[in-house]
Structure 1
Amino acid sequence: MTLHAETTTASSTTAPAPAATDGSVTSYTGLLERVRYEGAYPTRERADQAVRSVLAALGRQLVGDERVQLAARLPFEAALTLTAQIPAVTPLGGWEFVKDIARSTGGSLATTRWDVGAVLVPVAHLAGPDLTDRIIRQLPSGYALLFGRPELLPARGAGPGERERGDR
């Protein structure tokens, strides 16, 4: 893997590496800082706990090219957490995904939902829009919102080839 020059330069020697928005790999510290900001966590350690629990759970849901390509765009430590998991035989829907993480961490559903969004939104930035779309299409319903995207549902009564309301 090669890093783009613009992702390796920093304006200050003490500033963490920014999370990449072009699909290139950022540092794990940069990912943690982005998650810490998104989740308003008081410490980097708290952000690390969220990253590890959410990526481990996501690793049990993703398979195929999307799993491999996402791992390639994540920092090494995050990629290891994702790929160390054996994919589940039956994938979980979005809400079941949150409940599964809450059960394994002992967190409340509200806190766990917050953690999931705080991690998956920066992961979506690292993945880029095309890969994020493919990941969401691979997973059962309910994941788009977790990745910070609207959950678009087909209009009722609109079949293949029919125009939906407002599509004129």
Structure 2
Amino acid sequence: MRTDWDAFLSAVQERGEYPTQAEAERASRVVLALLGAHLLGEVRRELAALLPETLAGILLNPLQAHEPLPPERFIRATAAWIEGATEKTATWDVSAVLSVVADTAGEDLTQRILLQLPPGYDLLFGHPQSI
């Protein structure tokens, strides 16, 4: 079932401790555009079906990635797209959005998402993998 726009952004706002919903929306748009470039096929479609419609469209029409970015480069790319962001604030932004994405997706879909990403994303989703 599709998540409500306000509920999703409120969760990101709370998780990211953003003073306004507009900041949560900005982070969500950038992170989901970058994430969409890394996900393929059914996994991307399943996740999109759970997100608010506007964010689903961003996930399904992503920025183009020439190769999967390791987490550190994903964070740098996020920082480059958010005005005034640093790698430290971008890490916060990515973690706030992706942890809400993981909550929205549920355990099974989150695990399938993580299988499509380079190692290290588990921490950004708030789902550290045991070794």
TM-score (norm 1): 0.73
Q: 1:87, CA displacement in angstroms? A: 4.7
- Give the structure 1 partner of residue 21 of structure 2: 44
1:122-145 CA distance string (max 9 Å, x none): 111111100000100111111100
Count residues with an aligned counterpart.
Answer: 130
- Cα distance in 2 for residues equivalent to 1:47 and 1:90: 27
Flag the structure with larger Rg.
1
Unaligned 5+ residue runs, structure 1? 1-23, 154-168
Identity, in percent, stands at 43
- Contact 2:5 2:52 (8 Å CA) reproduced: yes
Partner of 2:79: 102
Secondary structure of the 1:128 match is: helix
2:98 aligns with 120
How much does 1:88 deviate? 2.3
- Confirm or deny that 1:31 pairs with 2:31: no
Q: 2:60 aligns with which of 78, 83, 92?
A: 83
Structure with greater contact order relative to length (CA < 8 Å, sep ≥ 6): 2
Please provide the CA RMSD for this pair: 1.3
In structure 1, C-alpha distance between the alignment counterparts of 2:80 and 2:64, rounded to whole Å: 18
Structure 2 Cα separation of the partners of residues 147 and 38 of structure 1: 12
Q: TM-score, normalised by structure 2?
A: 0.93
Q: Deviations over 1:46-101 (max 9, x none)?
A: 11111111111111111111111110111111101111115523111111111111
